Chain A
Amino acid sequence: MIHSLFLINCSGDIFLEKHWKSVVSQSVCDYFFEAQEKAADVENVPPVISTPHHYLISIYRDKLFFVSVIQTEVPPLFVIEFLHRVADTFQDYFGECSEAAIKDNVVIVYELLEEMLDNGFPLATESNILKELIKPPTILRSVVNSITGSSNVGDTLPTGQLSNIPWRRAGVKYTNNEAYFDVIEEIDAIIDKSGSTVFAEIQGVIDACIKLSGMPDLSLSFMNPRLLDDVSFHPCIRFKRWESERVLSFIPPDGNFRLISYRVSSQNLVAIPVYVKHSISFKENSSCGRFDITIGPKQNMGKTIEGITVTVHMPKVVLNMNLTPTQGSYTFDPVTKVLTWDVGKITPQKLPSLKGLVNLQSGAPKPEENPSLNIQFKIQQLAISGLKVNRLDMYGEKYKPFKGVKYITKAGKFQVRT
């Protein structure tokens, strides 16, 4: 099971270590640093590294490495999932998962880690259970605590810990009872040079914010549940109901959580809401090239496409770029060679474009590869797959809650090859 955890920042300092069994010396991280050096880029460090006596399994999140040490055969996915859970918990507690936040709350972090894992076995990882055991820091509370001498640590057994619904605590009370659902869809796509779709799929999630008193039992139904053939559920969902009736029936956790995530695969047709016209060329034996891209709406279902950003990793030989946008603003970082064009929204009357000259290092051969364009956008009030919530019913409690559903479509990994 998980032996130890080291938190390492980008400059290679180990700023926190926690051992759940015997102490493992920091020197074990040298193997990690070696791998990091070899990988050159932080994102390319392999997640599983073997050393003579241990295995190091790491994740890279929010500019931090979470490096765990294991000694016996443990499922690596289990470890990786757990590490992400640790990062999520820090995010949840401190608002951000950063070196500063962790150092500022080092004692809480330590208490949390101790509570999350016992002898390497996960103990309590559900946010609401943890919050009952160890209260998150707030300015008010730390002031109160320092006056009254009370502590951050709950001294009763969290109620959810053992029940069949470990995700919900008992005795929840709200004056305003609300249940909100966000249907968020991201389009992952690769578009080739000619504008045809090489690959496209939709990754969707339904995030919920539930503030309901007591033990509500909800069921959520869809207009077109058949779209959902590849779904991952929060443990609260009754799988049998879904199998038989295609209805999401569940007693929700309290607060924010991810209800389901789903994938609408490439077998179904995926609508691509934008198109890009591009012409990027470099002249042989001269130190310049031309750059010209235009973005326009495609299958956007009549909604406005907004929040568009285009990022391009230009080839290494590019020294500088001299461009004119018809709309928005652009920056080019000559060190990382990243071009970012913040477009804003598309107005069909006048399509946004960015054109101009590219300066290349003189004497260098013309770049072999053409850069890919990475596109971000957002469409409000639309789930691009067509998924629609039909109704939400509540059983088990008598009050009438406020209900709401929001739809949004975003670009995920949306790449256009040129």
Chain B
Amino acid sequence: MTDSKYFTTTKKGEIFELKAELNSDKKEKKKEAVKKVIASMTVGKDVSALFPDVVNCMQTDNLELKKLVYLYLMNYAKSQPDMAIMAVNTFVKDCEDPNPLIRALAVRTMGCIRVDKITEYLCEPLRKCLKDEDPYVRKTAAVCVAKLHDINAQLVEDQGFLDTLKDLISDSNPMVVANAVAALSEIAESHPSSNLLDLNPQSINKLLTALNECTEWGQIFILDCLANYMPKDDREAQSICERVTPRLSHANSAVVLSAVKVLMKFMEMLSKDLDYYGTLLKKLAPPLVTLLSAEPELQYVALRNINLIVQKRPEILKHEMKVFFVKYNDPIYVKLEKLDIMIRLASQANIAQVLAELKEYATEVDVDFVRKAVRAIGRCAIKVEQSAERCVSTLLDLIQTKVNYVVQEAIVVIKDIFRKYPNKYESVIATLCENLDSLDEPEARAAMIWIVGEYAERIDNADELLESFLEGFHDESTQVQLQLLTAIVKLFLKKPTETQELVQQVLSLATQDSDNPDLRDRGYIYWRLLSTDPVAAKEVVLAEKPLISEETDLIEPTLLDELICYIGTLASVYHKPPSAFVEGSRGVVHKSLPPRTGSSESAESPEAAPTGAPPSEQPAVIPAQGDLLGDLLNLDLGPPVSGPPMTTASVQMGAVDLLGGGLDSLMGDESEGPRGDVSGSPAMGGTNFAAPPAGTMPATLSAPIGGGLGDLFDLTSGVGTLSGSYVAPKAVWLPAMKAKGLEISGTFTRQVGSISMDLLLTNKALQVMSDFAIQFNRNSFGLAPAAPLQVHAPLSPNQTVEISLPLNTVGSVMKMDPLNNLQVAVKNNIDVFYFSTLYPLHILFVEDGKMERQMFLATWKDIPNENEAQFQIKDCPLNAEAVSSKLQGSNIFTIAKRNVEGQDMLYQSLKLTNGIWVLAELRIQPGNPNFTLSLKCRAPEVSQHVYQAYETVLKN
């Protein structure tokens, strides 16, 4: 008598038979048949063909049958939207049922039927249920609002459900409160800007009251919501902490971790002198340790979070080292995490224990784990100076085991120890050299070669050792080749007499026989250094190296602070901020820890006082002058070094010009006078440019040719002026008032593949202007001038000059708000001026933006529906053909055209310069000047701007 009987099939055809049974008069038979249908559904079999028959069974008094039919409906309504309407009546009727269970069930199920047509029928019953007298119905209805929002956000807002939901936060029943919070949080996640969960001390108080009485899951929602609150002072923070602390003793680990998040965050505001601060620290340790006795999956998540917590506040768990000791049958993912935390907790007090454990692990079976354990020993040596000697001897013991991967791993970490403690442990080199032949991994070989080169003067046969590696030079990986090159040069500088031949051999191998540009470049540098000035070479190559930092693997403090706000979430598992991996980066609001309010605190630990209010958006103001100046200088620095192998350097002349004139007047004092250098032509700039190669590492041997290429492009476009995309009339960007008499107006154009900025410079001052230069701040699409601003003659008063500045999109990228914001600095002999402008997005639409039809279909399906945005284009009296050709002029390509029910549907694609594809569906009704535009794109941020581009192009 088990359900497995529902899986047996008959020969006649299952669907046919089920159909008959579903239509049977006998109740019992009907129920059995529905059960069979459900059973098929559970294994992913398609039983949607039975839709009408199953829906017919819906009107019944039998609750089990009703529930089963509902289960079926939820699964298949989407594929049969018209049929689903049939069910609406029953739902509406059920919402009036005297039994609250049935009312709740109806509203719950209706919300799960993701069919647009049904949603409108849902509004009235939902409104009633949100105000139902029975809390069970209310709490179910609260979740239903979130469901509806997922299907049709606009509808939810229009119907005022969000406000009703906010009211439910003050409901008398804690379960209703918890569900309202959960629903609001989910809605808020898809609308980061909306201030749905507007928390104030009153609502916080209500949440804290509900926290004590609701279910464990409700507690998680409430705690996560509390964590977003910013208490107004330390007193409030403390009182919230006090009321949250009991949650640390909850049996549900998710509740515990959410409570830890709230406490870790609010603790930031408490003064360290407070007694309560110490108490709280003590209370945090036991629950964290308890998480480690749970199931391995829970342990894993807990460990990833503990890893963050020990970095932020090592004092919490400093006495609990032992609980992180690894058991041999822990899953590997738990072992690796425990090891990581052990190293973070290692200190002089416990290092002996830790080392003994690590040595034990190094003899385990699991190779990955053993490797990491050996590395850990090295990290301990670097972290705890007093233990270094013991670590080294432990590593030597391990090398004696001759287990291949242990030896290799040990050599890699010994290299690091040498760099941390130079001239201390060189006595072990002999032992290392014995194992030279067994090394087969590039990292270990490179480490060994580094050691030999670094200590060449103490190794008698260093030249033989290195020579032996040289034989198979071309088969080595790049890492080893580079290391070998450097090591031999070091050897040569230390023992020049015996190794001349060797060094020549390696230099010729590196420069002549290698295809690898890094290797070749490094080879040439050494070659030139050695041939021109061996003394300088010695200074460069054998320079004292900075000691390696204690903990190179620590998470950067600002990221750590952000991650602390995300304890318990996926972000904390991946140790990345949500913006780095949440799809489409929607719902991303940067969180930051609250500032500490205790006044005595800030002086003593500046690192613990991060910035105040969450910097949720990039301010739209122009950055401080210093900032932009930094950017300007940054770009201009790094002149190419001239030398024999360099043939392309001259191409960069154009870009260098800015440096000549620009740098001087930007940095030099004002007294130099405006006419101090009348540069502006490449030839003049050249004088400054002959400076000696700066620094020791001329990094730009192969000079970037971007600037020159941009110029070429510009030329070609100038010749064949085809019908380019729409060009807006010039607008004044920089009024003369603000720029000491210089007025700039301009616009952007795109013609045959190149973008340019057309400028009108007008001198409204009384003196002559010269030495013009232009620079862009980093922007969303990396727009940058492709050539310097060419103003050939000084601009006399009241003169206007028209310039077309070619642009490229290879500059530095930084997301701006709004997306198409461009901040520009223009300099002349008088001053530097800043302004910002918005560029139309269509200048970024590239010529090869036409997608294959198949590709279009697949991509359209592939992009999730949340990324779709819909817009109305109003009052556009064009027909489909005209629209299509007009858009084509701006590189919006029509891929297909369809006529559906009298409407013209245009399917279009376009591609931005940075490779983002935007797919569009344009619906045009003949006679109706209003179009509907649906845009789909993996980066939904651009949709709004693409829509604006459509508007501008179509209406002009």
Contacts and interface: CB of A to CB of B under 8 A. Distances in A.
Whether chain B is bound by chain A comes out as yes
A226 to B, nearest CB: 14
Nearest to B190: A72
Contacts of B7: 103
Interface in A155-172: 155-157, 161-162, 164, 166
Interface string A70-92: 01111111101110100000000
B607 interface: no
B9 to A, nearest CB: 15
Given A230-B290, A233-B251, A417-B360, A75 B569 contact: yes
A122 B217 contact: yes
A335 B150 CA distance: 53
Given A55-B570, A155-B99, A106 B42 contact: yes
Contacts of B290: 230, 232, 261, 263
A359 interface: no
B622 interface: no
Contacts of A190: 325, 327
Contact of B101 (A18, A152, A156, A263): A156
Interface stretch (A21-29, A211-219, A288-296, A384-392): A21-29
Contact of A261 (B140, B224, B251, B296): B251
Nearest to B61: A155
A157 B101 CA distance: 5
A105 B3 contact: yes
B71 interface: yes
Contacts of B100: 157
Interface string B193-225: 000000000000000000001011100100010
A121 interface: yes
A235 B67 contact: no
A65 to B, nearest CB: 11
B302 interface: yes
B254 A162 contact: no
Interface residues of B, number: 109
B158 interface: no
A313 B31 CA distance: 52
Given A107-B6, A107-B38, A162-B173, A81 B363 contact: no
B293 interface: yes
B882 to A, nearest CB: 38
Contact of B302 (A77, A114, A313): A77
A80 B67 contact: no
Given A43-B331, A73-B582, A125-B217, A151 B62 contact: yes
Which one of A1, A21, A139, A369 has the highest number of Cβ atoms from chain B below 10 Å of its Cβ?
A369
B296 A43 contact: yes
Interface in B53-86: 62-65, 67-68, 71, 75, 78
Given A18-B42, A107-B38, A151-B63, A77 B289 contact: no
B147 interface: yes
A111 B67 contact: yes
B35 A107 contact: yes
Given A47-B297, A110-B42, A369-B365, A75 B224 contact: yes
A321 B668 CA distance: 86
A44 B333 contact: yes
A80 B298 contact: yes
A201 B217 contact: no
Chain B interface, DSSP helix/strand/loop, else mixed: helix
Which one of B35, B249, B250 has the highest number of Cβ atoms from chain A below 10 Å of its Cβ?
B249
B849 interface: no
Interface string A225-239: 000011111110001
A111 B332 CA distance: 36
Given A157-B99, A368-B403, A263 B293 contact: yes
Interface in B73-112: 75, 78, 99-101, 108, 111-112
Contacts of B425: none
Contacts of B183: 121
B20 to A, nearest CB: 20
Nearest to A373: B328
Interface stretch (A9-17, A175-183, A279-287, A348-356): A9-17
B27 interface: yes
A37 to B, nearest CB: 14
B101 A73 contact: no
A122 B35 CA distance: 24
B286 A229 contact: yes
Interface string A188-210: 10101000001101010000000
Contact of B44 (A20, A26, A76, A368): A26
B251 A104 contact: no
B258 A1 contact: no
A253 to B, nearest CB: 13
A230 B300 CA distance: 21
A40 to B, nearest CB: 9
A233 B249 contact: yes
A118 B140 contact: yes
B325 A73 contact: no
A347 B217 CA distance: 50
Contact of A203 (B143, B246, B293): B293
A199 B323 contact: yes
Q: Report the 7 A-B pairs with minimum CB-CB distance, sorted nearest first.
A: A230-B286, A104-B2, A151-B64, A153-B64, A47-B297, A77-B254, A122-B217
Interface of B: 1-4, 6-7, 27-28, 31, 35, 38-39, 42-44, 62-65, 67-68, 71, 75, 78, 99-101, 108, 111-112, 114, 134-136, 139-140, 143-144, 146-147, 150, 173-175, 179, 182-183, 186, 189, 213, 215-217, 220, 224, 246, 249-254, 256-258, 286-287, 289-290, 293, 295-298, 300-302, 319-320, 322-323, 325, 327-329, 331-333, 353, 356-357, 360, 363-365, 401, 403, 568-571, 573-574, 578, 581-583, 587, 864
21 contacts: A14-B43, A44-B331, A47-B297, A53-B864, A73-B569, A74-B569, A75-B569, A76-B301, A77-B298, A81-B253, A82-B217, A106-B4, A121-B182, A149-B27, A149-B28, A151-B62, A153-B67, A162-B175, A198-B322, A229-B286, A370-B363
Given A53-B864, A75-B569, A76-B570, 16 more contacts: A58-B297, A72-B587, A76-B301, A81-B252, A82-B217, A103-B4, A103-B7, A108-B3, A114-B67, A119-B112, A122-B217, A149-B28, A155-B63, A162-B136, A199-B323, A267-B319
